Structure 1
Amino acid sequence: MLDAVGPRLRELRRRRGMTLAELAERTGINESTLSRLEGGGRKPTLELLLTLAEVHAVPLDELVGAPRTGDPRIHLRPVTRDGLTYVPLSRPGGIQAHKLLIPPHPGTEPELKTHEGFEWVYVLAGRLLLLLGDRRVVLKPGEAAEFDTHVPHWLGPDGEHPVELLVLFGRQGERAHLRARTA
């Protein structure tokens, strides 16, 4: 079971678009140790696994590949990172669903970023300001957007109130395919 942990750790890190250096900074585990864990050159300890599970926002059972108990519910454990609160709504693998709460940050300049994959957002509450390349789009509750994350982008509240979103993240080539049936 532990032999499969390294590839799982590498996949989680890559899926989140993180380098070993970034992961080392967030966990306090040196880059060399992380590299050896991912490559199978070092057996993981419980202390290392607990730290990595917390940073990746996944249950320890998923890191070690423990068999599922048959409970289909997702156990919501919010994670706050860079001032944003993510509530995972799906298990790791494939397209990831999160509820995202973004508080206002007055006086902070937006920093556009790029990464692998596609992103789909649906505004639940508040007004979302989406900067996408040189475009500026404001979405209201009930509106959705999908975009290639290779395009520089930034998400934040439009105004002084937080914005609450449903967000789907997909790896490169994975898009949300939504179909509606007409009556």
Structure 2
Amino acid sequence: MDELKHLGPRLRAMRKARGWTLEGLARRAGVSVSTVSRLESGKRQASLELLLPLTRQLGIRIDDLVRPEVPDPRVRRPTVQRGGMIITPLAPVGSPVHTFKISYPPVSTVPELQVHDGFEWLYVLTGRLRLLLGDQDLILTPGEAAEFDTRTPHAIFASGSRSAEVLSIFNGEGARIHTRTAEDE
């Protein structure tokens, strides 16, 4: 198990973060200094019998010492096109935060206002974005942000003759409505 190879260095880091010596931790946990030293250096195999008193004294869980490696953080999801929008996912599937870069094309007719469960936050990267929200007709330019409850009637599209690129963050309901593809339906 690869997780176990990091147990010793994590144990050492936790001990040092508290400013404790090998002797101090060993005394508190009721184990020998040699045992703590060998655990930290990887020269002794860890057992529950050894780890329980050490983790209790350090105020941590055993899971804190054997947590799995950090997975590759890169997001590799395909860009999709829907209704002229280009939608690039910026978070992995199953992420608690649904984040996308969306390119809104210019439109010839104003789209109908939508109402649905959800919440949205957006930030304009390039272009001019028109946000119809309830009785408001807003133009957002690069560097401007907006957040709103999607139960308010709304429509979002590029203003003018150029596309507008936006970073959008949705809760789960908002993401399903705004970013679904033909395969999802």
What interval of TM-score do these two structures reach, taking the shorter chain for normalisation?
0.5 to 0.7
Output aligned runs, 1:17-166, within 5 Å: 70-91=71-92, 92-106=94-108, 108-166=109-167
Aligned equivalents of 1:77, 1:130: Cα separation in 2: 26
Matched residue type, 1:79: V
Amino acid at match of 1:97: T
2:98–2:172 CA contact under 8 A, matched in 1: no
Which runs of structure 2 are paired with 1:157-176 in the superposition (5 Å)? 157-171=158-172
Structure 1 residue 70, shift from structure 2 partner: 2.3
Deviations 1:97-116 (A, max 9, x none): 0000011122x232111111
Deviation at 1:69, TM superposition (A): 9.1
Cα root mean square deviation, aligned = 1.8
Structure 2, gaps ≥5 residues long: 1-68, 174-185
Letter in 1 for 2:89: P
Q: SS of 2:75's equivalent?
A: coil
| Maintained 8 Å contact 2:130/2:156 | yes
How many residue pairs align between the two structures?
104
Q: Could you tell me how far 1:148 is from its partner in structure 2?
A: 0.2
Under a length normalisation based on structure 2, what TM-score does the superposition of the two structures give?
A: 0.53
For 1:72 and 1:170, the matched residues in 2 are separated by 21
C-alpha deviation, 1:93, in angstroms? 3.4
Kept in 2, the 8 Å contact 1:116–1:171? The answer is no
Q: What are structure 1's unaligned runs of at least 5 residues? A: 1-67, 173-183
Q: Distance in 1 between matches of 2:136 and 2:117?
A: 20
SS of alignment partner, residue 80 of structure 1 = strand
> What SS is found at the alignment partner of 2:72?
coil
Separation of aligned partners in 1, 2:139 and 2:151? 20
Which letter maps to 1:85? I
TM norm structure 1: 0.53
| Larger gyration radius, structure 1 or structure 2 | 2
Identity %: 45
Deviation at 1:158, TM superposition (A): 1.1
- Whole-angstrom CA distance in 2 between matches of 1:103 and 1:125: 12
What is aligned with 1:50? none
Please give the alpha-carbon distance, in whole angstroms, between the structure 2 residues aligned to 1:171 and 1:90.
12
Alignment partners' CA distance in 2, 1:70 and 1:118: 29
